[in-house]
Amino acid sequence: MGKNQAYKAMQRARLGSASGGPDEVEDGMMDGSFHSPEWHAARLASLKTSHTVTWEEYKKKQKEDEMKKGELEADKDRMMREYRAQLDAERAKKLAHGRNHSSSMSSHKKERKRLQASQKQEEKAFQEEIRYKLFKFIFRLL
C-alpha cells in the first residue's frame, strides 16, 4: 500500500466510525478518468496499430537510400567530368589561337566603347544645355 492510500485508509477509519455509512474500499482499482469505456477501447485499438517500421524494413530502406545516394554521386561526378572536359576544350582552343590577334577584341567590347563615348557626348551636351538655361534665367532676373 502506498503512502497516500495508507493515509486515506487511516482517515476513513477515523471518520468512517463517526459517519456510520458503508465503508468504501479504495484499492486503486477504481477508474478515476472521465472518459467512457468506448473511448478507452478506441484508444487501446489505436495504440495497437503501430506506425513504426521493423528492423528489416528499416535496413531495406537504408540500403535503398544508399543506392540512390550512390547513383546521385556517380551522376554528379560524371557531369563534373563532362563540364571539366568542356572547359579544358575551350581553354585549349583559346590558347591555340595565340595572343597577338586584332580579332581578339570582340565586337562586343568595341560596341561598348562606342556606346560609352556617345553617352559621354550626350551628357556633355545635356550639361551645356542646363548651363545655358541657368545663365538665361539669371540674366532675366537682373
Instruction: Assign 3-class secondary structure to the chain.
Output: CCHHHHHHHHHHHHHHHHHCCCCCCCCCCCCCCCCCHHHHHHHHHHHHCCCCCCHHHHHHHHHHHHHHHHHHHHHHHHHHHHHHHHHHHHHHHHHHHCCCCHHHCCHHHHHHHHHHHHHHHHHHHHHHHHHHHHHHHHHHHC
pTM beyond 0.75, yes or no: no
Split at pLDDT 50, 70, 90, the class of 26 is low
Is a pLDDT exceeding 60 seen at residue 1? no
Q: What percentage of the chain has pLDDT greater than the value 90?
A: 39
pLDDT at 29: 54
